[in-house]
Structure 1
Amino acid sequence: MTKRVRVNVRALANTKAARREKRNGRDVIIVPSATLPDDVVMNNILYPADEIEKSFASLNRTPAPAGHPLINGKFVSARDPEGINIGWIGAWNENARREGGRVLLDKVIDVQTANQSERGKAVLEAVDKGEPIHTSTGLLCNLEAANGDVAYKHIARDIDFDHDAILLDEEGAATPDQGVGMFVNSAGQPEELEVINSAIDMADQELDWAGMHLLSALERRERASTWERIKSAIMDALPGASEREPSANQGEADMADDKQLEQLSAKVNAIEEGLSKIGETIANAVGEAVKPLKDHVESLDAANKAKEDAEKAELEAKVVKANILDEETAKATPLNTLRALAPKATAGKAAALNGAFGGSSDKDEWDGFSLNAAAKQKEA
């Protein structure tokens, strides 16, 4: 024998991972959340992985109301017109998926619509602050009696997700004794269903929230500590005149002033030491961060220098062999100059000084030329 029931399953949303987008020209906030794990047992009911697999997609485009809508103390479907009027803050569920044996989904909150109601504003404020927000999935299912020696009494079948609510300052699905659910059946008639309120074991998630808030508090304290120490030192060094009691012994007063000055100096030194350590810590962190980049650049420089050295040695040999330069001069010649001379170098002879002399020809343009004959011809 089976019976139809409504179940509210409480979980926790990840406001730390919330992001903002523009959709159709409107601002929205997207908050990741999660619900049923595979084969979870709550209130003596087993939710099999295969049943979850068949039904989780029905979460897409369902409302994400602010709390479970109640009419006359009874739960009502979030899709019912009266349920919409009660709980709608412009939020819905989408991108339902199964990952790591868990149903994950995103809550999309239309900022403009949420700002039109007090509960919507409260949700936006909680998200902006990164505060933990509980969610509660409202679903319908048939309960099938379990057989055999098992740790549960019923098995959930034919699951149908109605909504996934956002809870603020309310117990939600934390207590098992809240009223019955009222739904409209296929004939258009309201029917009352037993409501079972359950909560997924969230010990790990609650610990994560506590840890993140502790780290945030420590970071704020660290940022404020420098100023607080400076302020404390100043206040100790400059007490109000009304706080001082007159002394008949000026020597004692001088000793007190000296002691205060010594204390102030010690505090200032401590502050300076702390600041210097902060600077050293930052410098070390930056140095470690850029070290891989620096090493890469140095490696490239070394490789480039080796390549240029090899090229220069090759060009030196080439121009020396072509009798353009002697070896000593070639070694002293810059690489760019050697590159310019290299095309003119022909093994065994000097390159032509002008292309008009036929430097590109295989024939020696100076063959048969007599410098003395040329000089006598010029004198004649």
Structure 2
Amino acid sequence: MPQTVRVNVRAVANAAAVRKTKRNGRDVIIVPSATMPDDVVMNGSQGKVLYPADEIANSYRQLERTPAPLGHPMVNGKFVSARDPEGINLGYIGAWNENVRQEDGRVLLDKVIDVEVANRSEGGKAVLAAIEAGGPIHTSTGLLCKLEPVQNNKTYAKIARSLVWDHDAILLNEEGAATPEQGVGMLVNANGESEEIEVINSSLTDVLDQEIDYAGHRLVEALTRREHAGVWERIKTAIMDAFVGTEREPSVNRKEDDMAVSDEQFKALSDEVKTLSESVSAENLGKAIGEAVANAVKPLVDAQAEITANQKAKDDAELTELREKIVKANLMDEAAAGELTLNAARALAPKAEPGQAAALNGAFKGNNDKKAGFKLPAGEKE
């Protein structure tokens, strides 16, 4: 039979996006926050627990209009519901959760704090002061669920089912990722009696996948700022494909003269980056990617250098040949021809073809001397 537990999931609110407004003539502060990514795996007292995307999607709306107490309410050393009368008396500071939604595989919500009500308690004043100071504001979602055991799975030992969301608390000077042994909770059973249940305290900030995701996004942003096309565009596409998991074609058209990178070279690079994403730790992710990309790029850079050198040799040979033709056609002397660039020599080359050379004296018209007004000396015939 699945075990019922209470889970407190710590996260960090977006303090930079805090905004102030008025509702019904009253000052309120709105603090955006987030919790529970799809298919997140977090630590539990009996092994890691998977929180499936479908279970989250089917239940997260329960957080709408729930209390946002200061800390998780405790009565006689035991966690209680934030909607329990004693829980309300202990933790209510005039704050609640609303605008609960799912975006990009994560549950997002706003905490609305009534400034006047918050100023009636020391805890509420402390929260307002923390927000005004601009420091990090931690939050923690309290929910109930049933843990379903899983056999022969290396990633997680249990699956969370039947999620019941109770509240999303504000934390100040409180460690939200304590060990499970540091607290128990109370649950009213079907007979109306209270029973103790295990409490699992977890933290999204400790999830390795989140750290890798953060590093990956920063990497993609850095690569996007690159101005180089060709080879680097392909490398960027390969890295993005490896982390995002898409199967799209590279974004750069494969032209014959596009840096002359073969399909085999590009595949080797893509495979190396994909292997990297599966094997490196979050701490060494940036360094490892840098080294792997550098190693993977080297053959491509060397190949391009060789292509450039070969092309230069061809251009030099062509320029030498064109200069010789121009000198032989008496268009320029050797010194002047030696100053010509390849493009200039190509433009002048057609005039060096037999029968195309320009006359040395532009006034000389050959057999058209009559039309030019040229008269033969006296006594000579045409």
Q: TM-score, normalised by structure 1?
A: 0.52
Can you list the C-alpha shifts for 1:245-293, whole angstroms capped at 9, x where unaligned? xxxxxxxxxxxxxxxxxxxxxxxxxxxxxxxxxxxxxxxxxxxxxxxxx
SS state at 2:180 partner: coil
Q: Bigger shift: 53-62 or 181-190?
A: 181-190
Can you list the C-alpha shifts for 1:31-55, whole angstroms capped at 9, x where unaligned? 0000001101011000000000001
Partner residue, 1:40: 40
Distance 2:176 2:121 in 1: 20
1:129-208 counterparts in 2 under 5 A? 129-201=133-205
Please state how far the C-alpha of 1:164 moved relative to its aligned partner: 0.6
Please state how far the C-alpha of 1:70 moved relative to its aligned partner: 0.9
The question of whether the paired residues in 2 share the 8 Å contact of 1:10 and 1:174 is answered with no
Distance 1:126 1:104 in 2: 21
Partner residue, 1:119: 123
Percent identity (aligned) = 68
Please state how far the C-alpha of 1:174 moved relative to its aligned partner: 3.5
The question of whether the paired residues in 2 share the 8 Å contact of 1:9 and 1:198 is answered with yes
Q: Report runs of 4+ in structure 1 exceeding 6 Å deviation.
A: none
Q: Relative to total residues, which structure has the larger helix share, 1 or 2?
A: 1
Match of 2:166, as an amino acid? D
Q: Answer with 1 or 2: which has the greater Rg.
A: 1
1:318-329 counterparts in 2 under 5 A? none
Match of 2:73, as an amino acid? P
Distance 2:23 2:191 in 1: 37
The question of whether the paired residues in 1 share the 8 Å contact of 2:176 and 2:203 is answered with no
Aligned residues: 207
5+ residue gaps, structure 1: 209-380
Please state how far the C-alpha of 1:92 moved relative to its aligned partner: 0.6
Match of 1:119, as an amino acid? G
The question of whether the paired residues in 1 share the 8 Å contact of 2:10 and 2:205 is answered with no
The question of whether the paired residues in 2 share the 8 Å contact of 1:179 and 1:195 is answered with yes
- Structure 1 pair 111/186, CA: closer, same or farther in 2 (3 Å)? farther
1:1-380 counterparts in 2 under 5 A? 1-43=1-43, 44-201=48-205
Q: Bigger shift: 170-179 or 190-199?
A: 170-179
Please state how far the C-alpha of 1:168 moved relative to its aligned partner: 0.2
The question of whether the paired residues in 2 share the 8 Å contact of 1:26 and 1:110 is answered with yes
- Structure 1 pair 149/184, CA: closer, same or farther in 2 (3 Å)? closer
Distance 1:130 1:143 in 2: 38
The question of whether the paired residues in 1 share the 8 Å contact of 2:52 and 2:160 is answered with yes
Q: CA RMSD in A?
A: 1.9
Match of 1:195, as an amino acid? V
The question of whether the paired residues in 2 share the 8 Å contact of 1:136 and 1:173 is answered with no
Distance 2:62 2:5 in 1: 17
The question of whether the paired residues in 2 share the 8 Å contact of 1:68 and 1:172 is answered with no
Please state how far the C-alpha of 1:21 moved relative to its aligned partner: 1.5
- Structure 1 pair 116/186, CA: closer, same or farther in 2 (3 Å)? farther
Can you list the C-alpha shifts for 1:328-351, whole angstroms capped at 9, x where unaligned? xxxxxxxxxxxxxxxxxxxxxxxx
Match of 1:122, as an amino acid? A
Distance 2:23 2:36 in 1: 29
SS state at 1:193 partner: strand
SS state at 2:89 partner: helix
Can you list the C-alpha shifts for 1:279-310, whole angstroms capped at 9, x where unaligned? xxxxxxxxxxxxxxxxxxxxxxxxxxxxxxxx
Distance 2:149 2:98 in 1: 32
Match of 1:23, as an amino acid? R
Please state how far the C-alpha of 1:204 moved relative to its aligned partner: 5.5
Distance 1:183 1:28 in 2: 33
Match of 1:112, as an amino acid? E
SS state at 2:5 partner: strand
The question of whether the paired residues in 2 share the 8 Å contact of 1:61 and 1:92 is answered with yes
Match of 2:27, as an amino acid? D
Can you list the C-alpha shifts for 1:205-234, whole angstroms capped at 9, x where unaligned? 9x99xxxxxxxxxxxxxxxxxxxxxxxxxx
Please state how far the C-alpha of 1:22 moved relative to its aligned partner: 1.1
The question of whether the paired residues in 1 share the 8 Å contact of 2:176 and 2:202 is answered with no
Distance 1:22 1:141 in 2: 37
Please state how far the C-alpha of 1:172 moved relative to its aligned partner: 2.3
The question of whether the paired residues in 2 share the 8 Å contact of 1:182 and 1:193 is answered with yes
- Structure 1 pair 198/83, CA: closer, same or farther in 2 (3 Å)? same
Distance 1:148 1:168 in 2: 40
